[in-house]
Amino acid sequence: MRCLWLPVIVALSGCSWVDQVSERLDRSGVDLSSQQIADLPYASAYAQWQGMPNALVVLAYVEQPYHQYPSSKTYKWVSQDKGMIVTQAGRITKTIGMAGADLSSLYASTPDPLALGLHLASTPKDWSYSIDWARGRFDGVKANSSFVRLGEHDGVQEWKEVVNLSIDKQLTNLFWVDSATGRVVRSQQQPVPDLPSIEFKVVKGFKGK
């Protein structure tokens, strides 16, 4: 099977790639030492659903985005049980394998403040976007979000995003942002209303272009 011929796929791609990655992962709860993280052959992250053990997810694909905005590259992280979390500029924009409650798509007509850099005074602290969920036929739900800075410790700013949805629901996300670069280093995000948040932390970053 030939798989590595498309220029936009920066990371490894392929039909057996996810299978190979999945075999190396353990979903039963992971807490790696610094040396173990250094030894990891792939860019990796911890994903933790509220009350569940840490799961290690591995970066399987880095691709160009589908939508005009968010315009950041899409990072596609896979778990041992073949779930997927897609992130763009640190925001979870798609999930697969979340027990029928997946976030299908997130799109906007203006840039995500996370992509512009929340650390910059010039970055708008409000954003409007649309969300599709797989469950309940929630297509095109309008979301209006506002960011509030909660504090700063050790060169990391903590931001809270409150998202008001057109279906009379609310989401709350927390982002920890590098004060110098604006890069999201850790987050606690609620992709679907009324369901637990996902804590997401990159433990070994992607070194590619």
Partner 1 sequence: MRVILSIFLFLSAQSFASSIAYIKPGARVGDVLQYVAVSSSHKSAPYWRASYMRYTMPDEVFEAQRDFLVSRLGEQSEISKRLRLVSMNRRIMMPLDLDFVRLDIKNNPLIDKPVQLVINIKPDDVYLLSDASWSSLPFEAATIAGDIVPTKTKTDSVYVISPSGDVQFHGVAAFNSSKQFVPRGALIYVPSHKLTALQNQQVAQLMANGGWL
Q: How many residues lie near partner 1 (CB under 8 A)?
A: 38
Under the criterion CB under 8 A, does residue 76 sit at the interface with partner 1?
yes
CA distance 91 to 161: 11
Q: How far is the CB of 58 from partner 1 (least distance, A)?
A: 12
Residue by residue, DSSP assigns 96-156 as E-STT--EEEEEBSS--HHHH-TTSTTS-SEEEEEEEESGGG--SEEEEEEEEEEEEETTE
Strands 156-165 and 141-153: antiparallel
Contact with partner 1 (CB under 8 A): which of 67, 125, 160, 183?
A: 67
What residues numbered 134-163 form the site for partner 1, per CB under 8 A?
A: 136-142
Query: What six digits make up the tokens of 86?
Result: 């897609």
> Which of 19/39 has CB closer to partner 1?
19
The only residue of 104, 110, 123, 146 in contact with partner 1, by rule CB under 8 A:
104
- With CB under 8 A as the contact rule, which of the stretches 33-41, 66-74, 118-126, 149-157 interacts with partner 1? 66-74
Q: What is the footprint of partner 1 within residues 115-134 (CB under 8 A)?
A: 130, 132
Distance CA 200, CA 7 (A): 28
Residue list 15-54, contact with partner 1 (CB under 8 A): 15-16, 18-19
Residue 74: Cβ within 10 Å count: 18
10 Å CB burial of residue 189 (0-12, 13-18, 19+) is buried
Judged by the rule CB under 8 A, the positions of this chain that interact with partner 1 are 1-3, 5-6, 8-9, 13, 15-16, 18-19, 64-68, 76, 78, 82-84, 86, 94, 96-97, 104, 130, 132, 136-142, 166-167
